[in-house]
Structure formats: structure tokens, C-alpha cells
Amino acid sequence: MVLTLPAAVAGNPVWESGGMRDLIVLSDFHLGRGKNLDTGRYWALEAFFYDKDFVNFIEWLASSATPDQPKPQIIFNGDTFDLLRVEPEPEGGVEGRAPAYLTPAIAARILENILAGHPTFVQGLALALSAGLPVLFLPGNHDVELQWPEVQAVLRRVLAEELVHMGKKPDQIIADLLEFRPWFYHEAGRVWIEHGCQYDPENAFRWYLRSNLAEEAADDTELDQPLGNFFQRYLYNGFGPITFMVPSSRANFRYGRWLLLNNPAVLIHAATSQLPFAFKWLRRLTLKKLQPPTALPQVHAAELHRLAEDSGLQERLLQIDSLKELRGDVVAAVESLARNLLRVLGLSLLGVLAVIGLWFLGFDVIQQASMGSASKSLWFMALNLLFFSSLTVGGTLLLLRDGPPQEPNPLPKAAAKIAELLQVPLVTFGHTHDETVQRLVQPLKRGWYFNTGTWIAVFTHDVLLPRERVQYTFLRIRDKHGELLHWHPARSQAVDVVLLDD
């Protein structure tokens, strides 16, 4: 779908250059540890199996570039690598699980394992660089550690080795074409790009910027762990090789209901193996709240003001940072979740006790009634049938209810504020795994919000939209236009994403 901006935007001098570089925006690949070289199979928590398709996509992208235009810029908009959904190293971790927090050294080692398990993906990145395509990485909530120089150094080194293998001289290529930014990509009058987790209350960091956080202060990040990250690390990983989960209240309910109806053993295993460990860490986090972090807030504040100066956004960047959705840290969020769970369990228990009480009352009435034994037997059968029917209907309604009320998606709201604040016509996020095109409602009425979806499988069991289970979606920004497309491996071309009006 091609979206042409209104004439008011087309007349902006910023758009008159004619040689503006195309932007190709991708997000949410969630590369895990890839293939286990010892078994020849993928690691159980891997979600990305499309390395060769990515190489074909890069080849198509490189071949479709025209000589008279700048080469398109590839922007990986967060969660390219998943440093949360990975198996712990045998010699690392706590009680056989992932470390409680990641230091720069641990994060660098995890990324090295991820790249080793995805050699074809590395070839695709090297192919893009060797073809002259600039590559930019932005962090997400699953790879926020990409801000650390030690982690970036791993990717630079692995790509340099691959470029040497391809017969290229890597130093200048990497220096000129490979870039990392700590938060966003912004072109004045054109586009704002960031992952978008900061506008999701279940996945927002209080202190997102941490490029200069020292190794010895990395434990500060344990207290700034969004609820979604916490559940992914300490609960969802216990589900094993199932469809990748988006940690939102409504999505969790849908997945949990589906698992309960189709594979309850997975839920039982996760509860018995993961929950005791999670509660242990919650207790530790509660104790650590008495000693709030000091280094991380200072690092974030210093980097925020530096970015505000270097980008020329000044006070506007501080205003964008203030848009983040903070509704309490992970401890407060879990405490709230526990209260809601106890309330639901309490109401359910009261309902069960009420039904049991009515059963005993009916039993006593039948027992005291003046009637023959045959009549009493029939009444007892009717009472038991009513009892079990009530429990069955109640349980079924509990399983099949629609879950928590659908809250308005906060990301388009944040996008509209950013578009208005920066006077940019295009704002794009990732994070939600849902492809989206939406006109922004703002005074200028000229903006568009895009969400680039994901390249991994999404949960489609109760989605009626005519779409593939896996869609290689990306956003192409060309001059004044935004196109939300998906790469079609069978056709070796990009086609429109199927989206319907609400």
C-alpha cells in the first residue's frame, strides 16, 4: 500500500532534493542461539528459522537499487537479537537459568553465541555491507544491550571475519556502513524511527539509555526490568518451543487459554519448574528496592542530554522521553498481578463453595423428604447432574471468556505526539509484532504511523485476517511515500501486506 503525503507536505523544501536515500525498516527478528552444532538441530527456544530467506531478501534489495540513487539504508529497529529468549550457558546462569542481569561481558558472549548459531544471517549482513548498503541497528527491549560498546564490538568482529572470507577489506566498509544508535533514527521533516517499547507500559524502561554504564554497575539493570522482560526470562522460557509470545495482558490470556485447552502439560511444567525460581527473585528484588540504583539514572540522564544536544532536538527530545509509559517497576507490577489473581481465585472459590453448599442443602432436603427410595434416587441423580453441569458450565465460561478488556494501543497515541512535536509526517515503531498502517490524528492531519510487525511466527489461531502465519514485513520509505510490504520468498519480490479497515 502506497501512501502519498498531502500537498502541504510535498511542498516542504526538505522533500525537494530528489536524491533522498530510501530507508528499509525491519524489526523483531528475535534471533536466538540458532542451530546447536552438537545435535544438528535448532535450540529449543529459537524463533527465527528464516536466515536463507533473509539472504535472498538482501540480494533482491541490492539488485533493485538504481545507479542514479543512493543505496538504500537498512534499519534494524530493535529486537533483532533476543538476549532474553535464549538457553543459558552450561557454565553460566543462576541455578541453571539465565543470569539475573546481563553485564556487558555476559551480553557480548550471548550475542557471540547467537551469531555462531546463525552463520547464514551473518552472511546476509556481510552481503548487504559489501553491496554498499548502510546498515543501522537500534535497540529494543529484548536487545537493549546493543547499546554497549562491548556488544557492538562482537558484531563488528564477526562481520569483519565474514567480509574477509568474501575477499573484502573490512575495516573501511564497517567504518563507513555499519552504525549503532542508542535509541532512535530521525530525519528532520521526514521520519522518526524507534522500537516503541517505551510506550508500552508492560515493556518500558525507566532508564533506557545505558551505553556508558560500567560493568561493575550493571546490576542496576535488575531493578529496571520491565514486566514483559521479567516474565520472558523467568517464566515464558519454560514453555519451550512454542509460538513466540508478546507479553501483554490480553495476549497472555489468549496464549494461556489456548495452551490450557490444547497442551496443559506445558503450563504445568512451566509452573512447577519456573514459578518457584521467579518468586525467589521477586523476593530478592523487593529487598533491593530498599537500595535504589544510583548509576543507571545518572547514566541515562547524562546520555539523554547529550543526545538532545547532538541531535539538535534539545527540549523536544526530553519531551519525547517523558512520553514513556511507566506504571511501576516489575515488583509493583507483579504485586498488582498477584492481587488480581488472588481476587479471581477468591471469587472462584466462593462460587465453588456456594455450589457445594447448595448441593448439600438439596441433599438434606431430599434425605428428609417423605418419598420412596426410587424417587429419592432419581432426585439425587438430578441433583448431581445439576451440580456437575454448574461446575462444567462455570469452568467453560472461565476458559472461553474474552479475557481482559482490550485497552487502546498506546503506541499510535505516542506516534501522533511525536509527529506533532517534531513536524515529521512518518513515525514507525516495531515491538508489537502487529503490522499497522494508521493515519495520525493531529492538528496538521498529515502524519502516518507504521508498525513493521515481525519476521517470526505469530499466534493466528483466533485471527480471521487472511494472512500468512509468517510474514517477512518491512517498511520502505521512498521520498514522500511509505510502503508497508512483505518479502515473498516464492515470488522473489516484495508484495503488499494484507490489512483491512476496522
Q: Which long-range contacts (CB under 8 A, 24 or more apart) does 156-161 make?
A: 158/112, 158/115, 158/122, 159/122, 159/125, 159/126, 159/129
CATH class of 2-214+294-327+409-496: alpha beta
pLDDT > 90: percent of the chain: 45
Q: What is the pLDDT of residue 132?
A: 95
Average pLDDT over residues 95-118: 84
Q: Locate the DSSP E strands across 16-140.
A: 23-26, 35-36, 41-42, 73-77, 135-138
d(CA 3, CA 218): 44
Q: What is the pTM of this model?
A: 0.81
Beta-ladder partners of 75:
25, 136
Task: Name the pairing type of β-strands 2-4 and 481-488.
Answer: antiparallel
Q: Hey, where are the domains in the chain? A: 2-214+294-327+409-496, 336-400
The pLDDT-based confidence of 183 (bands split at 50, 70, 90) is very high
CA distance 348 to 394: 9
Average pLDDT over residues 22-38: 94
* Pick from 102-116, 274-288, 302-316, 372-386: least confident: 274-288
Between 56-70, 132-146, 435-449, the lowest mean confidence (pLDDT) is in 435-449
Amino acid at position 3, single letter: L
Residue 5 binned pLDDT confidence (cut-offs 50, 70, 90): very low
Neighbours of 395 (CB within 10 A): 12
401-415: average pLDDT: 71
Strand 41-42 relative to strand 35-36, pairing: antiparallel
Q: 86-100, 180-194, 232-246, 383-397: which range is least confident on average?
A: 86-100
- pLDDT band at residue 96 under the 50/70/90 scheme: very low
* Cell numbers linked to 309: 544536544
Closest CA to 158 of 132, 204, 122: 122
Q: Cβ distance 359 to 387 under 8 Å?
A: yes
Query: What's the rounded Cα separation, in Å, for the pair 287 and 302?
Result: 28
Q: Which amino acid is at 84?
A: L
Q: Which residue has the higher pLDDT, 360 or 213?
A: 213
- Residue 429 half-sphere exposure toward CB, CA atoms < 13 A: 25
Helices (H), 193-263: 227-234, 249-262
Task: Answer yes or no: is pLDDT of 29 > 70.
Answer: yes
Q: Above 70 in pLDDT, residue 467? A: no
What was the pLDDT predicted at 342? 67
Q: What helix, strand, coil percent values describe the chain, rounded to 5?
A: 50, 15, 40
- Residue 264 scores a pLDDT above 80: no
Across the chain, what does the average pLDDT equal? 81
Question: Which residues fall within 8 angstroms of residue 57, CB to CB, at 6 or more apart?
Answer: 124, 472, 487
User: Taking 80 as the threshold, does the pLDDT of residue 312 lie above it?
Assistant: yes
Task: Reply yes or no on whether the pLDDT at 209 is more than 50.
Answer: yes
pLDDT at 249: 56
pLDDT at 87: 81
Q: Taking a C-beta distance cutoff of 8 angstroms, is the pair 481, 493 a contact? A: no
Rg of the chain's alpha carbons, rounded to an integer? 26
- What pLDDT is recorded for position 444? 55
